[in-house]
Amino acid sequence: MAPNPLSTAFVVQAHGLTAFSFALVFLLVTFGLPLPLLSIASANGFAASQYASAALIWVVLAIATFGTYETLFLPYVAKTQLASLKSMFCAYHLMWCVGAVYLALQPTALWNAWIPVLVVFSFTGWGFVSKAAGGDPLF
């Protein structure tokens, strides 16, 4: 049986896989190897320091942990829990939408600061249209 791209489980798993790419970007920035298109430094005028590197290591670990959880565990929760999972996923992403737009609107931000905005809004919309348990949309 093929996976349903409109199921909440599929959306959460796709988000977990995408989170790993962001973790990789943050890890590269931590070690002084930013990707010009996706780099925090180029998008938001990020100033590198030992404190910023320590914070980025924490962010990498947090994103990789939640990415693993979203990829390997959450898609397989009982169908009775998928409605709650969808609610949490959408609420989490609504907050990130506000934060991503705020960062992209900063005076030091460049055009590529809008890439994470596009990603987070895409996942938010995808989460809202996904089907929770029993195929019924929650929203």
pLDDT in tens, 28-63: 888 877 776 666 655 556 666 788 788 889 989 999
Q: Is residue 17 pLDDT above 90, yes or no? A: yes
Residues forming beta bridges with residue 131, ordered by sequence position:
7, 137
So what's the pLDDT on residue 46? 63
Delimit the domains of the chain by residue range.
Answer: 8-135
CA–CA distance, 136 with 86 (Å, rounded to integer): 12
So what's the pLDDT on residue 59? 87
So what's the pLDDT on residue 139? 38
Q: Is residue 137 pLDDT above 50, yes or no? A: no
**pTM (predicted TM-score):** 0.80
pLDDT in tens, 63-104: 999 999 999 988 888 777 888 888 999 999 999 999 989 988
CA–CA distance, 110 with 128 (Å, rounded to integer): 29
CB 11 within 8 A of CB 92: no
What is the number of other CB atoms lying within 10 angstroms of the CB of residue 123? 22
E runs forming strands in the chain = none
Query: Which residues have C-beta within 8 Å of that of residue 72, sequence separation ≥ 6?
Result: 16
Burial of 53 (0-12, 13-18, 19+ CB in 10 A): middle
